[in-house]
Chains A and B, each alone.
Chain A
Amino acid sequence: MMRSFVFAFLIFSAVQAFGQEDDLFDLFDDVEEVQLTYATFKGTQLINSATNETPGEGVLQYVIAHRFGSFNDDYLYNFFGLDNAQIRMQLDYGMTDKLNVGIGRSSFLKVADGFIKYKLLQQQTGAKNVPVSLTLNSSINYRNARYTDGVQHYTSDRISYLHQAIIARKWNRKLSTLVSPSIVHFNLVPTAQDPNTTAHLTLGGRYKITNRMALTGEGTLMSNREFSSGERYTTPFALGVDIETGGHVFQLHISNTRALNGPFWMARNPYSASNGGLFLGFNISRVFTVKE
């Protein structure tokens, strides 16, 4: 079935002339065509943050992510953190080449989520020059974990949102970067003095070291890290490596975050690398073409 991979049947239609020219082949240079930039990133996620990529029409994607226990939490006893891993599973589908919808479930606070992602603009050169790709991403997250504060909570207390614009650019075949201004909204915050909505800015990039392997990194700045309850949140960052093998992308990384849902790792990260709050983790994605 896959055999015909590089089986190129070309059907050329648009065309030029037959006539007198000094050098006929100079005509080739007169042709202005749009060249779309492809594969800015290998996966739909860089590490924790979303990239501008979507799976493409008719493609079903399954992502499984783990964040292992921290280096400062009885690391060897916990078998390098494997014994207390957090997990998130995601299933998403490409409705069109631009529109992607998905659902996920994470063990951290038992959060269930749904997201919608839309490629608004694609980087291109040639006849039309568009220097960056722009993708919009929104998620709604529902905390299923029981509250232990003894207060009767509304259903709406459990909900948080992430909205972001992902601006990505592939500078050359090796280097791609992204800048994602985001807002996170929690329906429930410690006191009325605390902001429900916080602003965040993710900076990330990848550098390919071979055709199938790349180094990745990301960090996210935030507008408010101190809450009146005394909680103080840190700047999330992660470093990793992408390995691609056919329909799979393996992403191995080290980060100072453990939660796997946007609002939680981005706006509610309590871990600090300076005292060993570092976690090994991986994301594995697999795509299935369900509609050709």
Chain B
Amino acid sequence: MAISNSATAVYDVQDGKLGVQVLMTSFEFKRALMQEHFNENYAESEVYPKAVFKGKFEAGRAIGALTIHGVTKDVDVPAKLDLSKETAHLVAEFAVTIEEYGIAIPSAVANKIDKQAKILVDCKLVAK
């Protein structure tokens, strides 16, 4: 499990546009070596520094394009967006297949790394 506390989310209340981005190197792993391998061998963070979602929020779903590792895929996943006057709270949980984003897992470590990555998004937004 890795946690990033420095992501950016944007939402437009008028037209429902929603965007989320996170720096790959901001993910903190429990083990230093895992973090290094994640950045160096899998995410290739130097070349692809960010993961980005650009799309819209519509009827309890986030629909749009998700770019990880330089590969863009259409996604349509359940999401929750609680709006109040000054703030918004975005929560989403979904899984992506790592291979689909062009990240190869060598067979030697295939039983140590999930083919699916679970992604949990929890953002608090402030009105501007």
Contacts and interface: CB of A to CB of B under 8 A. Distances in A.
B127 A19 contact: yes
Among A9, A18, A289, max chain B CB count under 10 A is at A18
Given A25-B17, A31-B21, 19 more contacts: A5-B114, A6-B114, A7-B118, A8-B117, A10-B7, A10-B121, A11-B4, A13-B122, A14-B5, A15-B9, A18-B12, A19-B12, A39-B39, A39-B40, A55-B32, A59-B32, A97-B32, A172-B46, A292-B30
Interface in A18-76: 18-21, 24-25, 27-28, 31, 33, 35-36, 38-39, 55-57, 59
A62 to B, nearest CB: 14
B79 interface: no
Interface string B77-112: 000000000001000000000100001000011001
Interface in B8-30: 8-14, 17, 19-23, 25-27, 30
B70 interface: no
A6 B20 contact: no
Contact of B22 (A12, A94, A173): A12
A16 B10 contact: yes
A151 interface: no
Contacts of A4: 1, 114
Contact of A20 (B14, B34, B114): B14
Interface of A: 2-21, 24-25, 27-28, 31, 33, 35-36, 38-39, 55-57, 59, 94, 97, 172-173, 211-212, 245-247, 287, 289, 292
Given A10-B119, A14-B5, A15-B125, A211 B38 contact: no
- For the complex of A and B, list the 5 residue pairs with the smallest distance between their C-beta atoms, beginning with the closest: A56-B32, A17-B128, A12-B7, A173-B46, A18-B11
Given A14-B5, A172-B46, A24 B41 contact: no
A15 B8 contact: yes
B72 interface: no
Name A's interface SS: loop
A20 B112 CA distance: 45
A11 B119 CA distance: 9
Chain B residues touching A, range: 35 or more
A9 B1 contact: yes
A292 to B, nearest CB: 5
B23 A292 contact: no
B40 A31 contact: no
B126 A7 contact: no
A15 B88 CA distance: 10
A63 to B, nearest CB: 15
A8 B123 contact: no
